[in-house]
Amino acid sequence: MEYNDVVEAVISALKKAHTELPEDVVTAIKKAYDSEENDIAKRNLEAILKNIEAAKKLGVPMCQDTGIPVFFVEVGRELCLDFDLKEAIVEGVRKATAEIPLRPNAVHPITRENSGDNTGLGIPQINVELVKGDELRMVVMPKGAGSENVSALKMMLPTQVDKIKDFVVETVKNAGGKPCPPIFVGVGVGSTFDGAAKLAKKALLRNVLEMNDFELELLEAVNELGIGAMGLGGKYTALAVLVEFGHCHTASLPVAVNIQCWANRRAEVVLR
């Protein structure tokens, strides 16, 4: 595996993530369209499906907000790399921004100066984990601001386990139509202040059609809000709620809710 292999893999993954939604996400949207009874909501879902089809056919980003590139990287312990992996990912983002092209979104938090290529201090966000094997697996999730801005984190008390659902529903209610629903909701329960947020974001990488009983209970509660597609009412405020857990301090209960718009973009590439 060479430096340029990683660079090209990053470009390829970003291209796919922006122009082609994962099959499970598309299936969830189609199921909502088929069963939606609200006429306005149904038309909005139809427009979303047409947008998805056009992006794939034309090879262009499905949304003008091409987001901030977030990477989850798994490095096999038996893999030997003689180059800077993070720098290869950064270069891939720079090239992808120019070639796809992507809107440059990375700015300094105070001066608001734009780097022009979606890189900068801590951007792209790269989460690295060591795993068994000799492969390099990268999953990229472009994260738009409309959904990120309405996400939330709360340091709850250990006695408030029964309030987790209320916090999730409250967060979605406060978001309203801002994140372009129907949304996908990632929830992180446990870990630390920053760890819960990472768990919530990582939850959004899962198959959205596979939810356990607790997640389905949360989904039902969220959809009872009636916010609906694009915030104009309907059965489907969310299409999935996915939860990841982490052990936490005996005196704390961090809970994070990371909201993703209908364009739950992600793409995976594996190098051997």
Domains of the chain: 3-21+61-143 (3.30.1330), 39-55+146-263 (no CATH)
Pairing of strands 68-76, 136-143: antiparallel
Instruction: Answer whether 137's CB lies under 8 Å from 268's CB.
Output: yes
User: Quick one: how far is CA 223 from the chain centroid?
Assistant: 20
Q: State pLDDT tens for residues 256-268.
A: 999 999 999 999 9
| pLDDT top residue among 272 and 197 | 197
Does residue 180 contact residue 41 with C-beta atoms inside 8 Å? no
Q: pLDDT tens, 209-225?
A: 999 999 999 999 999 99
CA–CA gap between residue 7 and residue 10 (Å, rounded): 5
Could you tell me how far CA 52 lies from the centroid of its own chain?
A: 17
Mean pLDDT of 121-136: 96
How much is the pLDDT for 34? 97
Looking at residues 29-57, what average pLDDT do you find? 97
pLDDT for the residue numbered 272: 87
Rg for the chain, CA atoms, rounded: 19
pTM, two decimal places: 0.94
The average confidence (pLDDT) of the chain is 97
3-class state of residue 37 by DSSP: coil
Q: What does the pLDDT average to over 95-109? A: 97
